[in-house]
Amino acid sequence: MTEFSISEAEFQACVDQRLPDDRRGEVERYLATHPEDSQRLAAYRTQSEQLRAAFAPVLDERIPEGLVQALRPRGARLLRVAAAFALVALGGIIGWQLHGSIERQERVQTIARGAALAHAAYSPEVRHAVEVGADQEAHLVAWLSKRLGGKVRAPSLEAVGYTLMGGRLLPGDDGEPGSVSPTAQFMYQNRQGTRVTLYVRTNMRDQDQTAFRYAREGKVGVFYWIDRSFGYALSSADIDRNELLKIANAAYTQLNP
Contacting positions for another protein (CB under 8 A): 3, 5-9, 11-13, 15-16, 18, 30, 34, 37, 43-44, 47-48, 50-61, 63-64, 66-68, 70-71, 73, 136, 138-139, 141-143, 145-147, 149, 151
Nearer to another protein, 47 or 253 (CB): 47
Nearer to another protein, 112 or 132 (CB): 132
Helix (H, G, I), strand (E, B) or coil at 133: strand
In degrees to the nearest 10, what's the CA dihedral of 223, 224, 225, 226?
Answer: 170
Nearer to another protein, 57 or 92 (CB): 57
Nearer to another protein, 69 or 190 (CB): 69
Distance CA 116, CA 118 (A): 5
Measured from the CB of residue 42, what is the shortest distance to another protein in angstroms?
Answer: 11
Distance CA 6, CA 160 (A): 71
Measured from the CB of residue 4, what is the shortest distance to another protein in angstroms?
Answer: 10
Strands 230-236 and 220-227: antiparallel
Nearer to another protein, 71 or 126 (CB): 71
Measured from the CB of residue 233, what is the shortest distance to another protein in angstroms?
Answer: 24
CB-based burial, 187-203: b 16+ in 10 Å, e otherwise: bbbbeeebbbbbbbbbb
Measured from the CB of residue 239, what is the shortest distance to another protein in angstroms?
Answer: 31
Measured from the CB of residue 89, what is the shortest distance to another protein in angstroms?
Answer: 28
In degrees to the nearest 10, what's the CA dihedral of 48, 50, 52, 55?
Answer: -140
Q: Which residue type does 41 have?
A: L
Nearer to another protein, 45 or 246 (CB): 45
Distance CA 170, CA 60 (A): 27
Measured from the CB of residue 35, what is the shortest distance to another protein in angstroms?
Answer: 12
